[in-house]
Amino acid sequence: MHTNDYLTHLQREGELLADAAAKAGEHTSVPTCPGWTTGDLVRHTGTVHRWAARIVAERLAGPVPEDPMPEEPTGAALPPWFLDGHARLIATLRAAGQGTDCWTVLPAASPLAFWARRQAHETAVHRVDAESARGGELSTLDPVFAADGIDELLTGFHARPRSRVRAEHPRTLRVRPTDADAAWTVRLSADAAPRTERSADGPADCELTGRAQDLYLMLWNRLPLDAATLTGDAALAALWRETSAVT
């Protein structure tokens, strides 16, 4: 995917998030984020948007701690505060050149590519959180975008030593969307971060198949395990569920 593609998704997902949060109400509990209200979710996402925009705009070297919130927006001030930060993030990323040099959380082709991708997926996952608070059907995700989000999670976040996904004995998990040309084989062990290959080669102890958007949200723990078709060792999928939260 290209930077402009990510920015298109970022714009859509932020607008959907704002709409769902407004319909849910600021004090509604978010089922997918236990302990959070919709207001907490909106303030968190809006703060992350401002943090990312500042890193790119000011070409900051890192790591950069998340910006403190000078005054917590509430009530009628919350939706415009969120939308303002969302718009500023998109404008900052659109104005940044491919040669922009700043800190990133994960390796990427360029800092701009990283931040456009990361903020699009950050916002998409939290849009789902807002819609879960609102109730009703979730908005659909483009299969290519959802598959890209799976790739970021498996080859990015869970390639880091801080990933807590470990298996007592070597195990292999496969993820295969039915509506996108992609597949991943995740090798787990007791003493190292998961190793993910972009292939479906070789045997797997457990395989998860289904629509890319369902696999994406399931792997981010936003949908239950039965959102996918599971073959093989169900305990391995449960292990992922229990240990894969990204912090």
Categorize the per-residue pLDDT at 20 as very low, low, confident or very high, splitting at 50, 70 and 90: very high
Query: What angle do the packed helices 111-134 and 78-95 form, to 10 degrees?
Result: 160
- The per-residue pLDDT for 120 is 98
* Residue burial 1-14, b: 16+ Cβ < 10 Å; e: rest: bebebbbbbbbbbb
In this structure, what token pair is assigned to residue 105? 């959380």
- The per-residue pLDDT for 209 is 98
- The per-residue pLDDT for 62 is 83
Residue % of the chain over a pLDDT of 90: 94
Q: Is the confidence at residue 110, as pLDDT, over 90?
A: yes
Categorize the per-residue pLDDT at 69 as very low, low, confident or very high, splitting at 50, 70 and 90: low
Domains in the chain, CATH or no CATH each: 3-134 (1.20.120.450), 145-243 (3.30.1050.10)
Do 48 and 56 contact (CB within 8 A), yes or no? no
- At 134-192, the pLDDT tens digits run 999 999 999 999 999 999 999 999 999 999 999 999 999 999 999 999 999 999 999 99
CA-to-CA separations, 7 to 46, 119, 153, in angstroms, rounded? 16, 9, 19
